[in-house]
Amino acid sequence: MLKQDRLSRELAKLANTETNGICVFPKDDNFSVMEAQITGPENTAYERGVFKLEIIIPEKYPFTPPSIKFLTKIYHPNIDDSGRICLDLMKMPPNGGWKPIIGIEALLIAIRMLLETPNPEDPLMVDIAEEYLRFNDKFKRKAREYTEKYAK
Amino acid sequence: MDLTLDLILKYPLIRSYQTDQDTLFEGIILLCNKDFNISIRKRPDCSYKLNYLDTKNSKILQDIHDYLKCNKNSTIIEVLDKIKTFLTLNEPNANIIDVSDAHLRVLHEYSEFTNFFLNLETCSLSKDLTEINVSILDEKSRTHCTKILVNYSTDLAHTFYFKSIDLPGKDPDILRSSDSLTALFDGFLGKIDLLQPFFDIMDELDEHCTILDPERPVRKDYYRRIWLGENVSATITVDPYNVHLRPDVRFLGPSRLVKNYGIKLNENFSKWDCQQGFLYAVQLLLGLESFPKRLEKKKSVGILVEYGECSICFSLRLDNKPPDIICPNKSCEKFYHNRCIYEWLVSLDSKKVFNNISGSCPSCEKIISCPVLE
């Protein structure tokens, strides 16, 4: 009950506000799976792309964090081929920074910020991180190619 | 001709058809509440053959065949009667209670009831005769609704019973079931009369205070959480049958704010006197000049957690209780339900000392503690 009530509250809020570039909708009645879309931030290689994400809400939400992954292919140092995202906020303490006061919206904002500023110090894709640091132009070109190809 | 008429009277759902030489009887036999499709052929030599009967019970079918074999020249009515007997004896759920008498009795009770009470506001009996909804107006024109159910499968003394009773107290001390609808309802009315002073003061509180809890008070609620100021509220619990007694008062809010209210309450504790009205007495008890009114809440768009709501489940009520743990850090003062913050602290393996668990507040990360729950 707690999970459902809280999620319906979160969704109602998301529906009422124009959170920049974020949109979430449930895929089933009990809010176990949701789909989100975020737009690529302006002035980045992901600009004008629309990225689909899948949010899986655990039974113990909000005491355990949801898991979120990209369904759209994306070229990014912190996101791997299968769409997994390396984000501290989505891991339980003491290793991660999840807290029950964080909601779906905050996580999606954080993910969108990760697109804006990748974190190559803690990469999931070592090659891409290397490229991002050393040959940034090449990285940008490839990321833009992926965006054109998959995120339209 | 006579036989056809008898058949229609006794088995109205069976039709006979003339074929070349045979007569076909087809239709439905009603038995208690169950229908049985049947088809029987009567041959020119006056013997019968069962074509179809929708039962899976092979014993019944065998019995019927045996019977038909050795009973030529019976009338169709005799045959059907016999089949009915076999069905009654062998169908597993043939022991269905015949409720037509009970229905009559309920209808009789109901009409007696509607004639007896003249102050009923609305009154209705559901089509299946199992549910009666009644509402009445009391002397102050307050509406009281109740739902009475009819149970056909128990002994007479408990035929009519209350589904739920909107009267204060966990288990209101009234007749809960009876064989007489009138007597049952009379008990309910008696309590309403007795509780008039209680309803009066609750109405008064609702009118003059900003009520935070219950969200939509109903007649059975004998407490009100009233708004005293930003972050502070008081829960006032009234004894429904002794309304002149001093009510129980509990404050909710950060301790630095609640402290002053507590001191005032202690000073006025022994001065309780409700000669000049309950509301005024509560006002004096709390040391208030008047009951503060909270301005209409702005339409909250974009705020995830409103004031007073739990920062974990994002709602005011969990198990119908408002959040009762407040972060002691002055610049945080977030609200949590005991169950929510406890579950979070446990999932972090926080330290338990005696009956308390402490760990860091999910919001400000300073130390917060709460009682351990089972």
Query: What residues does each domain of chain A span?
Result: 1-151
Give the contacts of B359 (CB within 8 A, at least 6 positions apart). B344, B345, B348, B350, B351, B367, B368, B369
- Strands (E) in A1-152, as ranges, are 22-26, 33-39, 50-56, 67-70
**Interior angle at CA A19, CA A14 and CA A23, nearest 5:** 60
CB-CB under 8 Å, A64 with B314: no
Q: Token pair 């036999």 is at which residue?
A: B29
Note the pLDDT of residue B93.
56
Active site amino acids of A:
86
Chain A CB contacts of B301 below 8 Å = 13, 16-17
Note the pLDDT of residue B307.
72
Note the pLDDT of residue A86.
87
What is the distance between the alpha carbons of residues B32 and A64, in angstroms, rounded to a whole number? Answer: 56
Using CA coordinates, name the residue in chain A closest to B315: A6
Note the pLDDT of residue B44.
85
How many angstroms from the chain centroid is the CA of residue A133?
Answer: 22
pLDDT tens digits for range A126-136: 999 999 999 99
Which DSSP category does B197 fall into?
Answer: H
Give the minimum alpha-carbon distance from A10 to chain B in angstroms, rounded to a whole number.
7
Report the top-level CATH class of A1-151: alpha beta
Name which residue leads in pLDDT, A18 or B357.
Answer: B357
What is the distance between the alpha carbons of residues B343 and B359, in angstroms, rounded to a whole number? Answer: 11
Give the contacts of A102 (CB within 8 A, at least 6 positions apart). A62, A65, A89
Note the pLDDT of residue A9.
84
Q: Are residues A44 and A100 in contact, defined by beta-carbon separation less than 8 angstroms?
A: no
**pLDDT per 10-residue tile (average), chain B, 374 residues:** 76 85 87 81 87 83 86 84 82 59 87 86 89 90 90 82 83 79 89 92 92 84 87 87 90 82 90 89 90 68 69 86 88 91 90 90 92 88
CB-CB under 8 Å, B301 with A101: no
Reported ipTM:
0.86
Name which residue leads in pLDDT, B120 or A54.
Answer: A54
Give the contacts of B223 (CB within 8 A, at least 6 positions apart). B213, B214, B235, B236, B237, B238
Note the pLDDT of residue B350.
85
- Domains parsed from chain B with CATH numbers: 3-90 (3.10.110.10), 100-194 (3.10.110.10), 198-285 (3.10.110.20), 300-374 (3.30.40.10)
What is the distance between the alpha carbons of residues A126 and B280, in angstroms, rounded to a whole number? Answer: 73
Note the pLDDT of residue B304.
63
Q: Is A17 an interface residue toward B (CB < 8 Å)?
A: yes
pTM of the model: 0.57
Note the pLDDT of residue A83.
94
CB-CB under 8 Å, A5 with B315: yes
Residue A102 in tokens: 């964080």
**Per 3-state DSSP, what percentage of chain A is helix, strand, and coil (rounded to 5)?**
35, 20, 45
Neighbours of B88 (CB within 10 A): 12
